[in-house]
Amino acid sequence: IEVSKNGTLFKTSNGGEVLTNDGIKILAENFEYDKSKLILTASQDVEFIDKEKNIIIKAEKITYFKNKENIIAEGYVEVNDTENNLTLNSNKLSYSKNEEKIIADENVLLNDFKNNVIINSKKIIYFKNINKFYSEGNTTAKIQTKYTFEGSDIFFFKNEMRLQSSKKTQIIDDNNTKYTLGSFNYQINDEFLKATKIEIIENFNLSNNTTNKYYFEDGFFDLKQKNFKTGLAKIHLKKK
């Protein structure tokens, strides 16, 4: 351990661990601790373990602001929420322990293993205390290998197993049906979709003459049973 600045700056290398009195453990190759500012910087193969919140963060570099209970993680970052069986990967991440809030930036990938939900976005905010996710900007969500959502600013309510957005979104299912929506609310387990400004194209990958098209002002859709209850409708049947 190298000590300088009148005993306020500590540096270590060649591996070690840091423990706090509130259940946090940090493993890394290199540490630098500024005692006067209560800032700890760890680099190379860093693992941040928060036993109280069931959060494990791995990164190339982590800066821990002890007085605010915030951390900044950089490099290839992986968050493992062991309580909810999900991971969050990104290039940069901030974690507020007191607020139980995680903000992941750049090439963000959320994987909810238990429910088979994968969400990719430029930015995802995770409110852990209420199990709510918000994807900011362009977003792709793959739901149970059956539906692919492409849109922006999408909410994922994990406790309710529900997706929601007020922005234009496209859904493509495993039967090559494309749904274009002005806004939507989707119940994942029941496969119930409530939406506005809806366009549905069956076999959208084929030519226009061989597809059916449906236009609805709004509607409620049971996608599992293919039952629709809609408002104002317009239907274009295929040519034959």
The per-residue pLDDT for 32 is 96
The mean pLDDT value of the chain amounts to: 94
Q: With H, G, I as helix, E, B as strand and everything else as coil, classify residue 36.
A: coil
Residues 159-172 have a mean pLDDT of: 97
What is the CB-side half-sphere exposure of residue 81 using CA atoms within 13 A? 21
**Rounded to whole angstroms, what are the CA distances from 189 to 128, 153, 163?**
21, 21, 11
The per-residue pLDDT for 44 is 96
The per-residue pLDDT for 238 is 79
Confidence of residue 140 (pLDDT cuts 50, 70, 90): very high
Q: pLDDT tens digits, residue range 88-101?
A: 999 999 999 999 99
Confidence of residue 237 (pLDDT cuts 50, 70, 90): confident
Write out the DSSP string of 179-227.
EEESEEEEETTTTEEEEEEEEEETTTTS-GGG--EEEEEEEEEETTTTE
